[in-house]
């Protein structure tokens, strides 16, 4: 097997033969998914040796840089050791944005290269616009990283589709198509192209298994005012799915026919998201059409859950909370009595979730991180590389499940024994931010950018920060990371828009403290946006907790908590016990009763 340095060397040789000055490899697939992609598309990881889910690689003849964000700094430092790849810490002082670096380091009349299937039409147009006066050209028709990977490259997925019944979705395909077409008419569109993986799944009430931990299929959809087509590898279409599409009047077409069909459109008003249509497909768009270059209307539709989706999601969280309580009980009772590793812990949690009704798969790979490993926000314990767990300190477990009734995401930092005063302080500060955000009341029109300070404030007072967002949207039996809603600080960008929080949206609440090689603390619940009071000031909103799992009372420094915060913890714990006790056996109930015992200031 080639080393990372050998792979980079081969890429440079290929670049020389093509006259390419600089080559760009994002972590993406041909639908421009930014995080979770099928193994076949993980060319950035293959070429760089970095296994994280976010970032990009840029290579010149004398430089190779891996850009990733603060969630992965510690992980990337370790994985890039002894390679020729330099870690470029995104959004840190002095570090240019990847595309700025790409253009600045391309000489006049030079040639930029990338696989056009992995880069959006919007990005290609931006690069062309900013470099045109310098005579720079772009080469987009090859995949050299895939060629270097060769026979070892995983095959494209062929997993079967399945129908998500209307009892889970709350709407028929016809109803969803009617809503989509209503938005098309409002925007003057004759044709809507759906390229983000989640959109066709949501409209057509189907799910797939092409990407681990993400129940989608590699597919496109084209919707007109009277027809709808689903472009997918026909090997994935089961008889049940075939019947489902026939009943809903949606035509199934081969995946590869999308480019040809787009070329056939002439004189139409086509709604297409240039951020999620790749460059190679974009090159086939007919010149005689007019294009509405904006986000698909489906993104906001699926972000705002209907009553059935909300009811089912609550049920999914009850099942998930049951599994979590069983897990924490087992962990605390077992640690120190047998040899246990981070992998043993995560495997036990997988087993407990799998035992719950209508469980499909994890919503993302479980993070089971002991002590200093928890400082890596997206740490992954493996059979080859893991830590042994002892009856002391913290185990951070960030996990979730995809059920037919909903998607969950929860983090608990679990005390396994004696804790230092510093560990208790960091846990309590994290919980203070978590409680402040969870109890927020705010006017309609508020965005996650407005609310982030509530969660970040307590750790900022200690001059500590966490280099990630505070919260992200969560899909319904779709991606555990969903937009446009989110909770973060800074200046809104096209990638991180200033989205208004709407009733029915779900966001996570997950502040933390991460000290490299020392510890990591994170506490995460899912929150549902609901209406509060309405008066002459306007419509107020608040959050409703969806997550059922106790906080760690033994990790609290009560001197840092107000009476109001203590009562908030007690009320949450009473709710948990009432909901979960009937689902547990006697021993588990007794343990839970102690775990949620009342605390006093």
- Complete DSSP assignment for 338-392: B--BHHHHHHHHHHHHHTSTTEEEESS--EEEEGGGGGSTT----SSS--B--SS
Say if CB 458 and CB 432 are below 8 A apart.
yes
- Exposure string of 432-455, with b = 16+ CB inside 10 Å and e = fewer, is bbbbbbbebebebebbbbbbbebb
Question: What pLDDT, in 10s, does the model give residues 542-579?
Answer: 999 999 999 999 999 999 999 999 999 999 999 999 99
Q: How confident is the model at residue 226 (pLDDT cuts 50, 70, 90)?
A: very high
| Phi, psi angle pair for 450, to nearest 5° | -70, -30
Pair of tokens at residue 122? 């919007």
Percent of the chain with pLDDT strictly greater than 90: 89
Measure the CA–CA gap between 346 and 333, rounded to whole angstroms. Answer: 16
Does residue 490 have a pLDDT over 90?
no
What number is the average pLDDT over the span 405-412? Answer: 98
* E strand or H helix at 586: helix 586-595
Question: What pLDDT, in 10s, does the model give residues 48-85?
Answer: 999 888 899 999 999 999 999 888 888 899 899 999 99
pLDDT of 170:
97
Superfamily of domain 4-152: Creatinase/prolidase N-terminal domain (3.40.350.10)
pLDDT of 157:
93
Task: Look at the alpha carbons of 173, 176, 178, 183 in this order and tell me if their dihedral is positive or negative.
Answer: negative
DSSP assignment of 181-247 equals HHHHHHTT-SEEEE-STHHHHHHHTEE--SBTTB---SEEEEEESS-EEEEE-GGG--HHHHHHHHH
What number is the average pLDDT over the span 411-433? Answer: 97
Pairing mode, if any, of strands 191-194 and 219-224? Answer: antiparallel
pLDDT of 380:
87
Place of tokens 């002095």: 94
pLDDT of 74:
83
pLDDT of 71:
81
Measure the CA–CA gap between 255 and 232, rounded to whole angstroms. Answer: 4
Measure the CA–CA gap between 556 and 347, rounded to whole angstroms. Answer: 28
| Domain regions of the chain by residue span | 4-152, 162-296, 304-595
Q: Where are the beta strands (DSSP E) in 21-102?
A: 22-26, 56-59, 64-68, 86-89
Question: What pLDDT, in 10s, does the model give residues 442-484?
Answer: 999 999 999 999 999 999 999 999 988 999 999 999 999 998 9
What number is the average pLDDT over the span 227-249? Answer: 96
Measure the CA–CA gap between 229 and 320, rounded to whole angstroms. Answer: 36
Q: Domain 304-595: state its class.
A: alpha beta
Q: How confident is the model at residue 284 (pLDDT cuts 50, 70, 90)?
A: confident
CA distances from 67 to 91, 97, 158, 276 (A): 10, 8, 31, 21
Does residue 487 have a pLDDT over 80?
yes
Higher pLDDT, 494 or 253: 253
- Range of lowest pLDDT (9-18, 74-83, 202-211): 74-83
What is the three-class DSSP state of 137?
Answer: strand
Residues 6+ apart with CB under 8 A from 19: 111
Measure the CA–CA gap between 164 and 171, rounded to whole angstroms. Answer: 11
Tell me whether the CATH fold assigned to 4-152 matches the one assigned to 304-595. no
Question: What pLDDT, in 10s, does the model give residues 92-108?
Answer: 999 999 999 999 999 99
What is the reported pTM? 0.92
Q: What is the CATH number of domain 162-296?
A: 3.40.350.10
Kindly report the number of other CB atoms within 10 A of residue 89's CB atom.
18
Number of H helices, E strands in the chain: 19, 28
Percent of the chain with pLDDT strictly greater than 70: 100
Q: How confident is the model at residue 540 (pLDDT cuts 50, 70, 90)?
A: very high
pLDDT of 392:
96
pLDDT of 6:
96
Question: What pLDDT, in 10s, does the model give residues 184-203?
Answer: 999 999 999 999 999 999 99
Residues 6+ apart with CB under 8 A from 182: none
Say if CB 172 and CB 247 are below 8 A apart.
no
What number is the average pLDDT over the span 473-497? Answer: 89
Q: Is 372 exposed, middle or buried (0-12, 13-18, 19+ CB in 10 A)?
A: middle
Does residue 437 have a pLDDT over 90?
yes
What number is the average pLDDT over the span 360-376? Answer: 95
What number is the average pLDDT over the span 305-322? Answer: 98
Angle between helices 586-595 and 563-580 (to 10 degrees): 170
pLDDT of 137:
94
Mean pLDDT of the chain: 95
Measure the CA–CA gap between 146 and 40, rounded to whole angstroms. Answer: 9
What is the three-class DSSP state of 292?
Answer: strand
Q: How many CA atoms lie within 13 A of 278 on its CB side?
A: 22
Does residue 495 have a pLDDT over 80?
no
| Phi, psi angle pair for 436, to nearest 5° | -65, -45
Does residue 329 have a pLDDT over 70?
yes
What number is the average pLDDT over the span 138-166? Answer: 95
Kindly report the number of other CB atoms within 10 A of residue 327's CB atom.
23
Does residue 287 have a pLDDT over 80?
no
Question: What pLDDT, in 10s, does the model give residues 369-395?
Answer: 999 999 988 888 888 889 999 999 999
Measure the CA–CA gap between 319 and 355, rounded to whole angstroms. Answer: 10
Does residue 601 have a pLDDT over 80?
no
């Amino acid at each position: 097997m080639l080393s990372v340095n050998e792979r980079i060397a081969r890429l440079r040789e290929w670049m020389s033969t093509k006259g390419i000055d600089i080559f760009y490899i994002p972590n993406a697939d041909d639908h421009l998914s930014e995080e979770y992609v099928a193994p076949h598309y993980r060319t950035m990881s293959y070429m760089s040796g970095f296994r994280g889910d976010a970032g990009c690689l840029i290579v010149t003849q004398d430089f190779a840089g891996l850009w990733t964000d603060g969630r992965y700094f510690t992980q990337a430092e370790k994985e890039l050791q002894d390679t020729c790849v330099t870690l470029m810490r995104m959004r840190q002082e002095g570090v240019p944005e990847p595309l700025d670096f790409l253009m600045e380091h391309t000489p006049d009349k030079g040639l930029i290269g990338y696989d056009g299937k992995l880069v959006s039409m919007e990005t290609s147009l931006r690069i062309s616009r900013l470099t045109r006066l310098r005579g720079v050209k772009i080469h987009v028709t090859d995949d050299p990283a895939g060629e270097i990977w060769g026979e070892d490259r995983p095959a494209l997925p062929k997993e079967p589709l399945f129908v998500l019944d209307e009892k889970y979705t709350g709407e028929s395909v016809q109803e969803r198509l009617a809503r989509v077409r209503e938005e098309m008419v409002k925007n003057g569109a004759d044709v809507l192209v759906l390229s983000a993986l989640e959109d066709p799944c949501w409209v057509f009430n189907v799910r797939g298994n092409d990407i681990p931990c993400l129940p989608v299929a590699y597919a496109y959809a084209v919707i007109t005012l009277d027809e709808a087509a689903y472009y997918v590898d026909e090997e994935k279409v089961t008889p049940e799915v075939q019947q489902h599409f026939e009943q809903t009047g949606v035509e199934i077409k081969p995946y590869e026919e999308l480019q040809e069909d787009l070329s056939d459109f002439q004189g139409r008003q086509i709604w297409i998201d240039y951020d999620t249509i790749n460059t190679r497909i974009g090159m086939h768009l007919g010149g005689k059409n007019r294009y509405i270059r904006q986000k698909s209307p489906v993104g906001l539709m699926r972000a705002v859950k209907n009553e059935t989706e909300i009811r089912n999601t609550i049920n999914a969280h009850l099942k998930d909370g049951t599994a979590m309580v069983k897990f924490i009980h087992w962990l605390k009772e077992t640690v120190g009595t047998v040899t246990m590793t981070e992998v043993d812990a995560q495997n036990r949690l997988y087993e407990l979730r799998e035992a719950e009704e209508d469980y499909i798969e994890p919503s993302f790979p479980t993070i089971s991180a002991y002590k200093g490993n928890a400082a890596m926000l997206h740490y992954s314990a493996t059979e080859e590389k893991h830590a042994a767990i002892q009856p002391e300190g913290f185990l951070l477990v960030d996990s979730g499940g995809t059920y037919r009734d909903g998607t969950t995401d929860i983090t608990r930092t679990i005390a396994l024994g004696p804790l230092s005063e510093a560990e208790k302080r960091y846990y309590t500060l994290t919980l203070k931010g978590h409680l402040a955000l969870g109890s927020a009341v705010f006017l309609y029109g508020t965005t996650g950018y407005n609310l982030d300070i509530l969660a970040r404030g307590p750790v900022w007072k200690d001059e500590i920060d966490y280099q990630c967002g505070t919260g992200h949207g969560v899909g319904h039996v779709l991606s555990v990371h969903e937009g446009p809603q989110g909770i973060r600080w800074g200046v809104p960008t096209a990638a991180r828009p200033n989205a208004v929080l709407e009733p029915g949206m779900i966001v996570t609440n997950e502040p933390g403290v991460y000290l490299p090689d020392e510890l990591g603390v994170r506490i995460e619940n899912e929150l549902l946006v609901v209406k509060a009071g309405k008066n002459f000031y306007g419509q107020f909103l608040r959050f409703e907790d969806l997550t059922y799992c106790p906080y760690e009372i033994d990790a609290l420094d009560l001197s840092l908590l107000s009476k109001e915060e203590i009562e908030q913890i007690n009320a949450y714990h009473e709710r948990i016990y009432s909901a979960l006790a009937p689902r547990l056996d006697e021993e588990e109930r007794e343990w839970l009763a102690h775990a949620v015992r009342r605390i006093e200031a």
